[in-house]
Amino acid sequence: MASSILVTNDDGVYSIGLKILYDAVERLGDVVIVAPETPKSASGLGITLHKPLRLERIEYWGLDIYTTNGTPSDIVYLALNQIREKIDIVVSGINIGDNTSIQVILSSGTIGAAAQAALMGIPAVAFSADVQEPDELGDPVYAAYLTRITRLITSHILSRGLPEGIDLVSVNYPRRIGPGTRAVIARPAKIKYEQRVEVNVDPHGRRYYWLYGRIVDPEPGTDVYELKVMRNITITPITLDLYPVNTDSIDELRVLEELVTRDLSRSSSG
Amino acid sequence: MASSILVTNDDGVYSIGLKILYDAVERLGDVVIVAPETPKSASGLGITLHKPLRLERIEYWGLDIYTTNGTPSDIVYLALNQIREKIDIVVSGINIGDNTSIQVILSSGTIGAAAQAALMGIPAVAFSADVQEPDELGDPVYAAYLTRITRLITSHILSRGLPEGIDLVSVNYPRRIGPGTRAVIARPAKIKYEQRVEVNVDPHGRRYYWLYGRIVDPEPGTDVYELKVMRNITITPITLDLYPVNTDSIDELRVLEELVTRDLSRSSSG
């Protein structure tokens, strides 16, 4: 039986990245595309619980696509409950803008969709490119490279599954790809941006604040460094197990168990 | 010098949880309160980059409070850039509704604020209570317990710092607290909810979908089990290091480095 593949993104149905991702995986199985009707960047793993969602079927890029007002995370659940009985792999992207560093990974909608799939036990890969404009992503030569490498990676993970303890994989493409471009496994940097605030005054005389990020110097070996400085394709395995491995550190925190429990037990007499 | 403490939440300035949290920490240092002007639940680590933010100063709960249209994550950056030169600890909550399981932790705004602080290297604690309504949280006897235990935990972490490898701590309070209530360190469950979709038709004849979660049976030892079944106070240490510790698994993925690099190197001749 053909593999069941869900293609999604967070830039929305009109992003060329969705089309490139579809082209990459279409021959690998039975593909369904479900995308946000408008961009949902920085939605992280947000789920929509307090309002109704829509699911429409449109034709775009010459493809049959479901669109929704929901987030990339919502899409995983809508697809599993309403469209497919079973999904073998979720691929998300190709995002306009890279998703490197833990800071960015945790707030990315592209990776959010992959993470939700991972929580359901479905292998997932998020793809992002270090470009700023749709035109850069859509450049025919560049897009052909993306299609080819994305297919190779998806095909490999679809047939082998993800190694134990790896919940999902995030792939970032450098701005230029050619015959000499290398692919490397890279650990995520902690932060990519130092957040700053610009203060200004609106036409009504009221002050406003605008957040912006200044890229910090990346540490060698991190995804940010390998992508931005070395211009490699970075492959970042991610675990969602948020529990620390350092048992000494956890034991150090255990003193709180006793402190709190003892304090409460005394409250009867006090 | 007094410790600089940031109090925030994701339920917004009008939540009684913010007042209880302030009461808990006010004596521990020099406290500033910055809260969303409206509820920002499920905002995760989302940051607002594409629109201006406001920062107003109001009086509520008899307290001097900054409010903003931004997310809990935005608040950490606004506070650090515009209000305080230095922040020694960020406390977030007390959330109406518990924040247990990785699934919920990753999409929680309460924990999102704490996680952003952690990425900046600031110790942070998120507090949540397994209640559904503000009235339950505000019950004087219950609130007095929350104040007391929240103070104890914050004071301990403020003076000792967080153990190595622990980026932040999430504390969840059970629905009832009394002299016999215990506090335990608990690892997060993977998922708490099985997401379902209810399908319905609106008055205009258009179909809509509504996501809802059905709690899955919690595994013993997890935060969901310790909180919901054992009714303990759960203390969950969290690491944001998303890189897997299993080096064999990472090595298994290394075959992709070679596959992709070799495929690209062949493209010059093809």
In a domain, B183, yes or no: yes
Chain A residues touching residue B48 (CB < 8 angstroms): 211
In a domain, A208, yes or no: no
Query: How many domains, chain B?
Result: 1
> Tell me, what CATH number does A34's domain have?
3.40.1210.10
pLDDT per residue as tens, chain A (270 positions): 899 999 999 999 999 999 999 999 999 999 999 999 988 877 777 788 888 999 999 999 999 999 999 999 899 999 999 999 999 999 999 999 999 999 999 989 999 999 999 999 999 999 999 999 999 999 999 999 999 999 999 999 999 999 999 999 999 999 999 999 999 999 999 999 988 999 999 999 999 999 998 999 999 999 999 999 999 999 999 999 999 999 999 999 999 999 999 999 987 644
* A151/A171 Cα distance (integer angstroms): 12
* B138/B146 Cα distance (integer angstroms): 10
Which segments of B66-168 does DSSP mark as H helices, in order?
A: 72-78, 102-105, 109-119, 134-138, 140-160
What is the band of B268 on the pLDDT scale with cuts at 50, 70, 90? low
In a domain, A258, yes or no: no
Distances (CA, A) of B197 to A32, A80, B177: 18, 10, 34
Q: Tell me the mean pLDDT in the region B26-48.
A: 88
Which of B43, B102, B182 has its CB closest to that of A261? B182
Question: DSSP assignment, residue A73?
Answer: H
Does the pLDDT value for residue B46 go beyond 80? no
Question: Would you state the pLDDT for residue A268?
Answer: 60
Tell whether A189 is within 8 A of chain B (Cβ): no
Quote the tokens at residue A81. 């409950």
Q: Tell me the mean pLDDT in the region B3-13.
A: 96
Tell whether B260 is within 8 A of chain A (Cβ): yes
In a domain, A72, yes or no: yes
Q: For residue range B118-173, what is the model confidence (pLDDT) as tens digits?
A: 999 999 999 999 999 999 999 999 999 999 999 999 999 999 999 999 999 999 99
From the candidates B242, B250, B255, which should be mutated to test the interface with A, based on the most A CB atoms within 10 A? B242
CB B179 to CB A253 under 8 A?
no
Chain A residues touching residue B211 (CB < 8 angstroms): 47-49, 53, 70, 74, 77-78
CB A244 to CB B265 under 8 A?
no
In a domain, A203, yes or no: no
In a domain, A12, yes or no: yes
Tokens 């793809």 correspond to A127
In a domain, A184, yes or no: yes
Q: For residue range B182-210, what is the model confidence (pLDDT) as tens digits?
A: 999 999 999 999 889 999 999 999 999 99
CB A238 to CB B239 under 8 A?
no
Tell whether A138 is within 8 A of chain B (Cβ): no
* B112/B110 Cα distance (integer angstroms): 5
Chain A residues touching residue B263 (CB < 8 angstroms): 148-149, 152
Question: Would you state the pLDDT for residue A39?
Answer: 84
Chain A residues touching residue B243 (CB < 8 angstroms): 187-188, 236-239
- Closest approach of B62 to chain A, Cα-based (Å): 25
Tokens 């997401």 correspond to B195
Which of A183, A206, A239 has its CB closest to that of B256? A183
In a domain, B104, yes or no: yes
Tell whether B85 is within 8 A of chain A (Cβ): no
Question: Would you state the pLDDT for residue B44?
Answer: 75
Give the domain extent around A222: 4-189+218-245
